[in-house]
Chains A and B, each alone.
Chain A
Amino acid sequence: LTSFYYRVFIVLSSIFCITKAENEIVIKSKYQPGTWRGMQASFSVDGKVQSAQFEAFKKKYPNISLGGTNTPIMIEGIGNESSDLLAIAAGNSPDVFDFNYRQSGTFVDKGFVRPLDEFIRDDVTSDEAKEAGDYDPNIMYKDELLERIWPKVMDAAYTLGPDDQKHYYFLPRSYDVRVMCYNKQLFQEAGLDPIRDVPKTWDELFEVGKKLTQINDLDSESSVYALNIGSDSYSSWTSRPFYLSMNSMALSFDNKEKRWTSTFNDPGAVEATDYYLSLLQKPWKDNNGKIRYGVGHKGDGWVKFHQGKLAIVFLTSSDLLMNSNLWVQSKTYDEIGIAKIPSSPLGKSVSELYGMNLGISSAIKDPAVIDACWKFIRFMGSDAAKKIAVDTYIENGFGRYILPDILEKYGYSEFIDKVPKDWAEAVTHSINNHELEPYGKNTQHIYKYMDIPISKGYMEEIGKNPNKSERIAKLQIFHDQAVKKANEKMIGRIPASEVGKRYPIAVVLSLIIFLLYGILFYYVWKAFSPKDQVISLHHSEYSHKVNRVAYILLAPAILTVLIFSYYPLLRGAMMAFQEYGVSTGGKYVGFENFAKVFFDQDFWLSILRSIYFSFLYITLVFFPPITLAILLSEIPIGKIFYRVIYYLPAVISGIIVMLMWKSFFDPAPDGVLNTVIGFLGFEPVDWFGNKNTAMIAIIIPSAWAGLGPGCLIYLAALKTVPSDLYEAAAIDGCGFFSRLINITIPMIKPLIMINIIFAFIGAFLSSEQMLVMTGGGPDGATTLVGLEIFLNAFMFQRFGIATAMGWIIGFILMGFTVYQMKRLSNMAFKTAESLEV
């Protein structure tokens, strides 16, 4: 109730506020200049730049102010992409979105951002408009537009919307390209010249890497890595320039069909993956004759780079300031070097272009707010804003790290001579030889798919194989699989002939499911109806009155269950036949969702994994508490002591147990679990990086936390076993195990049977563990069906498909539930206390 009054108060006070400051327009922006992740970027030069830009904006438009925050919620392995989509799904979207190219397709496709066409005229320049006499300062004309949007970005910004028409959807506010950055001091220590010996080709990179990794060989604590290879879902991101340098694009757009297709299975891509794996796994001999594998470091590279333990990283540099990256801003030319990405065997060195872009939410209806948003997104990233940035950089002494042509443009040519030539060359080369970050339908997930061949290759240790044609052949298969998956899942591209075949099958299967559901209900209904009708005794007036009281008492429970369980069930049944979008609503598509799900290999794989997981769960989580209870009830003293200790883990709530264990599963040899198994003589294990161990690693926390609380109920049950049975057995000369098998277990069997089915169903549907610990990785090995549904619903916003999956799982579990219902109908429940003998 307090929260209700609180809300009324907030609403009232906000109305009051609005009437007070009539002219002020507040826009909720995802982009908050001057703050970084909600924190003040106080003394950093970027903080200064953004603050100055915002001040200038504020000066120009005093009546527009910024609201909203940018604290994201992170979900493991899915990245912060999810926070936006979750907010939109919750109807909590900001007015101004800040997104990158790979997200742009989704924002456009799902109708989250509005077209900006009303503010843009690409047919005339401002001068021409002035001449013609219809110039409007609030309109962006051709000249400004072309300067603002780089040619390759234009394809992403001016694109097909949900209405199949081309519109402008966003304006860029920043541009970044990837360059190679290296620690000069480490080069020196390795006996390399920090300018002449910079690797220019792939082979050179490996050779230089060999030298770098041999610095400080003796002191393992501070051993040096040559270059950073992103871990897990970041490796495809890190390695992007290698692929682009092999002419391999991630996606292509078919103009005729107006569809996207994944294309990252071309020979260039395979070659790039092969090289990338060699950086991690190729065997070579060091100066001491020891065989080593690869030169790269997998994991969090930045901290190592900062500590001077990692020599080379691929980082982004902006189109203004060369050392704009927060990580290297405090480093000077003498400490770090910037060079272009090493060339591929094709002789090409291509960088990837990133950028943040601003778009306006389609949910805004108030023209005044739309106009304010337009003014904001137009200003941030405009020439005026760039000028402010350059001024601020110069003022802060970054003059020699600004790109020469920018210096020229904004009137600071006196600095040009001081700009390090090699840096300027490298960054300019990257700006001139770039490809856009992949963009298109649902492309925010592309790195996950592009990561598949890399992590598969890594797990199968393909990099260690000396035979190149074998490696290539294997990797080609992985790439083909990944592309097929990306096309089907991410882009939703299934050949038309296939669809025609699938649909009828889907109809039949779906009908069977619904029929069986009906039968199940009938069956359970019957199971619950009492065999002897002893009840119908009351027929009098009085009993009607009494019954009315009973129904009133039942009403809250019945209504709750009706509204929050039955209504969603029905609505879910409908949604399975719809293509449902948050901003577009539902559209009936017949059995299409079922057709997609039935033929979705990932879905069936996830079910197999769920079954496997359930069996592991039964063995590792369900049975140990029973064993523990039997052991505990045997010991004459210390029962309570052990009981408390075993219960201890249960005081930590579920998600926290998982987080804690997650940190114990550190893959390094000195990780907790690896230390323990090392003590027992095993090799260290990359727990979450290995398909087989990941599943077990997910279960261990549940086993640990579930042992104590799980055993309590069996302890209580064991107490109810009458001791005269044991006495009789003793007289018959039965030993411990024969008593256990012939008396104890049969006595507690009903309890075990009921619980085992609950445990099985619970394990089958679990998703939280994976969401917290692995995000479904590695390579989908822990994507159980529950997670698959969650991802489909909340990450891909495919509610219809997710619901259809839910129904199919319900069908699969039907047998268990029927059995369970039947058992329950024959059971009475008593407290253990009352049953004790």
Chain B
Amino acid sequence: MSIFLKSERKDPKVIFLLIVIYFILSAGALTMIYPFLLMISGSLKGKLDAYEFDVVPKFLVNDEVLFKRYVEHKYNEKIDEYQIANKEFVRIFKSVKPPQNLNDVIIKDWLQFENSSNIPPGFFHVGEMYYLPGASNRITTKNTRNFRNYIKNICGNNPEKFKKMFQTRLPNWYFLDLSHERLLDRNYKVPRTKFAEVFYDFKKNISPSDRIYLSINGKFSKYLRSLNDYNGDINLLNEKNETSYSSFYDITFSNIKLDDPLALHWENFVRNELNTQFIYLSEEGNVAFNKFLKFKFSDIADLNSKLDTDFANFGDIIILNPTPFESKLTEEFANFIKIPDLCLTSFLRVNSVETLWKNFLINKYQSINNLNDVANGTFGSFSDVSMPLKSMDFKYVIENKGKLRWNYITHNYKMVIEYLTLFGDGFKNTILYCFFAILTSLLVNPIAAYALSRYQLPSQFKILLFFIATMTFPPMVTMIPNYLLMKDIGFLNTFYALIIPGMANGYSIFLLKGFFDSLPRELYEAADIDAASEFHKFWHIAMSLSKPILAVIALGAFNGAYSNFMFAVVLCPDEKMWTLMVWLVQMQAFSSRGAMMASLVLSAIPTLVVFIFAQNIILRGIVLPVEK
């Protein structure tokens, strides 16, 4: 009963006190809910906004933040990749600004270009595929998921076939975890494996919005920036080369320009740094390359056997078809272009998305003035028309707001669910464990308590003491021997280890016995007159009258089993026996922050459901001590 009487509630003093109480309760309620909301909001976040603690994530309401998130995901969290593609220096994705104005003509042209030209898969990276390597960054990205599914389909959802097909020891495709491609770098080559082939088949078919086109200009700017000659200082570069660039990223080189003072750098860059797939030779260049090969190999048969090729004669060897796959011939090609005496500068040609784009524009407009007229531009030459990647990204974001938001809302959850369903038998183990824990605690304890209460054994108090004295044992003393006992009787890594020791609980028996004692004796006597069986009396009298308290015991067993982590992992270290909780704790160790929050939210659902349904039972089953 409330301390204030109902009649007192009109007293202003009491009203004041009640207001204070309401205030305190509301403030408390806020501290209860706030972390919850943060948890839910956190489960929607990515790397960009993981450390912003707001109840409503900004990307849901702000297009600019959505754009930043999109860009971060698309560029695989790698700011380098963004800098090169967009020729723009930003240190972190948070500082990326949306494009100021979109040029519709250029965008339309770009779309036409993208659709009409056949861009080789080596000319772009896959976006939304990787994450920054690190101890706690793992998140399953959109295209990794697509790729896994792609492989899953190829193998007909059969792990054995997968292992055979790819010659791998991985248990299944979930474990595929690709590292970033570095297709611009000379020292990066794609191995000729089945796996890489499949990846490239997959890559060919990704949607254009997921492509990260490789800008050689951007890479070159970065290269210049890192040269010791200029020490990262554009003024120094301008001074030494008598140029007037305002930043390294303004330097464009869509094709060879021999008269430019920076040509020497360009040459060095192409000869030594750029991946060979972007380089081809002029006709004279090919002749020289053939000469080089002839000098190195005695005849075409020798070359074919040493380089694993099948050319009919030296004249057939032309490096034209850009491919990032490793081959011994490209090795030779790389050796050749490094030597300025053999491979003259004028031999070198570069082919990339940028050159394709330029050629496309030239074809379409013939002269730059035509383009400037249509597009309202002030371009000096076609080389100045850089790829409108940022505009395309922004356009994509604006047109797909809802889809992207939904994607970011769900993608952490998707990862957790995938992880849990694919790894081991977490669900099955948890359900079985909870089920048996509830079942055994509802059988063993009431039966024992009933026996004690009904039969009034001469030794009943000693037995009760026997049960309840276990509460005085320091758990630390029994923990280790218990563990060893489990090991000796072979219970480790089985459900027995989790369930059997917890079957009987001294305190529950004590509570139940006290409760059964308080049931009216007359009921039993009436049953005796009807000659009811002992089981009947137990089930229909004792048990059915104690439903609330039994429910509380069951709930306790459920909570104990569901949230058991320490003993679950110590007693069942084998992965096959891990429960959801162990898997989730394991996942926290490496997953991204957003995915971690999502796992917290998901794991709270079963307990929330149980609480909602059992709320009233809990309240009715509360047991209070009363002095005898």
Contacts and interface: CB of A to CB of B under 8 A. Distances in A.
B169 A34 contact: yes
A628 B28 contact: yes
A363 interface: no
Nearest to A533: B458
B503 A216 contact: no
B61 interface: no
B165 interface: no
A706 to B, nearest CB: 12
B474 A73 contact: no
B307 interface: no
A751 B180 CA distance: 62
B3 A666 contact: no
A222 B457 contact: no
Contact of B33 (A645, A750, A768): A645
Given A71-B575, A327-B133, A661-B35, A829 B485 contact: no
B534 A549 contact: yes
B543 interface: no
B3 A307 contact: no
A557 interface: yes
A803 B615 CA distance: 41
Contacts of B52: 670
Contact of B29 (A38, A642, A830): A642
A568 B478 contact: yes
A529 B461 contact: yes
A744 B1 CA distance: 10
Interface residues of A, number: 182
A184 B226 CA distance: 7
B92 A221 contact: yes
Contact of B628 (A92, A575, A675, A826): A826
A396 B624 contact: no
A653 B35 contact: no
Interface in A649-695: 649-656, 659-661, 663-664, 666, 668, 670-672, 675
B92 A189 contact: no
Name which of A554, A648, A723, A809 has the most chain B CB atoms within 10 A of its CB. Answer: A554
B365 interface: no
Given A87-B573, A307-B92, A48 B623 contact: no
Interface string A529-566: 11000011110000000110111011011101101111
Nearest to A727: B5
B432 interface: yes
A820 B506 CA distance: 14
Contacts of B168: 34, 40
A482 B32 CA distance: 41
B477 A829 contact: no
Given A635-B22, A666-B51, A810-B477, A564 B501 contact: yes
A546 B136 CA distance: 63
A309 interface: yes
B291 to A, nearest CB: 20
A332 B273 contact: yes
Interface string B32-56: 1101101100100000000111000
Nearest to B181: A43
Given A92-B573, A397-B187, A631 B24 contact: yes
A769 B502 CA distance: 22
Contacts of B607: 650-653
B548 interface: yes
A15 interface: no
A397 B615 CA distance: 66
Contacts of A648: 32-33, 36
Contact of A550 (B451, B480, B518, B562): B451
B177 A809 contact: no
Contacts of A750: 625-627
B620 A831 contact: yes
Contacts of B549: 831
A40 B478 contact: no
B604 A655 contact: no
Contacts of A530: 461
A335 B226 contact: yes
Interface stretch (A100-108, A249-257, A370-378, A711-719): A711-719
A550 B1 contact: no
B327 to A, nearest CB: 11
A303 B472 CA distance: 49
A295 interface: no
Interface stretch (B239-247, B382-390, B392-400, B588-596): B588-596
B303 to A, nearest CB: 19
B28 A793 contact: no
Interface in A764-815: 765, 767-768, 771-772, 785-786, 789, 793-794, 799, 802-803, 805-807, 809-810, 813-814
B176 A704 contact: no
A829 B32 contact: no
A329 B366 CA distance: 44
B448 interface: yes
A320 B354 CA distance: 38
B179 A303 contact: no
A655 B493 CA distance: 21
Contacts of A739: 3
A194 B444 contact: no
B271 to A, nearest CB: 13
Sorted nearest first, the 8 A-B pairs with minimum C-beta distance are: A397-B187, A188-B232, A653-B563, A806-B476, A806-B477, A810-B474, A334-B226, A557-B448
Given A567-B485, A634-B3, A660-B39, 5 more contacts: A396-B187, A547-B455, A656-B603, A661-B35, A765-B476
27 contacts: A7-B494, A35-B170, A35-B175, A43-B181, A48-B191, A73-B573, A73-B582, A90-B487, A92-B574, A193-B228, A221-B95, A308-B91, A396-B188, A549-B455, A560-B501, A564-B501, A631-B24, A633-B1, A635-B18, A651-B608, A656-B581, A661-B35, A670-B51, A767-B566, A768-B566, A827-B626, A830-B515
